[in-house]
Homo-oligomer: A and B are copies of this chain.
Amino acid sequence: MHHFISLADVTDLDALIRSGLMAKTNPFADEHLGHHKTIGLLFFNSSLRTRLSTEKAARNLGLNVMTLNVGSDSWGLEMEDGVLMNGDKAEHVREAAAVMGRYCDILAIRAFAGLTDRALDYKEQVMTQFARFAGVPIVNLESATRHPLQSLADCITIEEARTTYPLVPVRPKVVLTWLPHFKPLPQAVANSFSEWMNARAAAGKVEFVITNPEGYDLAPEFVGNARIEHDQNKAFEGADFIYGKNWSSYEHYGQVLTQDPSWAVTMDKMNLTNNGHFMHCLPVRRNLKVSDEVLDSPRSLVIEQAANREWSAQAVLREILLSL
C-alpha cells in the first residue's frame, strides 16, 4: 500500500482486517518497522479518537510522531493552481505538502467537508493535492467524503463480533441507519461505511442495507449495489448489526431536511432485529440519536469499535511501512 485515502488503495481487505486483529493480540510485534521513521499528523479539524488512536498505533510500530493542529481558518492553504495569492491564504499546498513530505515519511491528514459546495467537497482537493505534492504516502484521517480508518475499524469490529457472539451468522445482515440530529453533519462516515460494506457484500461476507428518510440518499457512487429502504422498521428486521449515523442531505447539499425523532434507535427497534448489535462511530448524542438503554446494553459495540480504531490504524500504517 502506498496511500490510504480510500478503499481503492486496499489490495487485500481480508488480510488487512486480519492484520488489525493480530495487532490487537500482539501490539508491539512490529515495533522495529517504524524505527527512525516519522509520521506527521495534520489536523485541519479537531479530533479525539482519530488523533489518539493513530498516535498510539504509530508508537506501537516504533514511529516518531509529530502532530500539527492547524485550524481550518488559522492556516489558509491555497489549493488551486495559478492563483494570485493576495487574499487570506498565506501558503500554497505545493510548498506546504512538499516541505512536510521532507520532514515526514508518512503524512496523515484530517480535513472535513465545508458542506456548502458539493462539487468542491466531492473533489477531495486536500487529499488529492497532498498526494500529488507531498512525495510520501498520505493517510486519510477523515476527509470531505470518506473516513476509511473508521470503516476498517468497523470491518474489524464486525469480524470480531462474528467470531465472539455465537448468534451472529456467517453472512450477517448489516444495516446502516440514518439518525436524527439538528446540525448538518458530513456524509463522510456513512459514505465510507457504505463503500466498505459494499466490498464486503461483493465478497459474500455480509448482506448490506441502507435505511434513511427520503431526501437523504447518499451519493450514487457510495450507495453502489446496496439496497436503500426508506422504512426503518422494515430495514431492521433480521438485522445482525445496526450501524447508526446522522448525515446531512447529499441531494439538498448540506441541509437538515428533518429531525424526525422517530428515527432514533431505541430498544424497541433493536428488538425487531436478530439479536442485533448496535454500532456508532462516536461521538454520539445520547437519547437524541440513540437511547441510553441501547448504548448501555451488552448489545452496544460502540466502545469496542472505538478501541478498534487503534488496530485499524496500526494495520494500515504497518502496510505502508512495509512498502517504504
Contacts and interface: CB of A to CB of B under 8 A. Distances in A.
Contacts of A55: 66
Contacts of A288: 84-86
Interface string A162-189: 0000000000000000000010000000
Interface of A: 27-28, 36, 38, 40, 46, 48-49, 51-53, 55-56, 59, 64, 66, 68, 70, 74-75, 78, 81-86, 90-92, 94-96, 98-100, 102-104, 182, 282-288, 292, 295-296, 302-303, 306-307, 310
Nearest to A296: B94
A51 B40 CA distance: 12
A286 B92 CA distance: 7
B283 A91 contact: yes
Contact of A52 (B36, B66, B86, B285): B66
A56 B86 contact: no
A27 B64 CA distance: 14
Contacts of A96: 48, 283
Nearest to A82: B292
A91 B282 contact: yes
A84 B287 contact: yes
Contacts of A95: 282-284, 295, 302-303, 306
A232 B283 CA distance: 51
B74 A66 contact: no
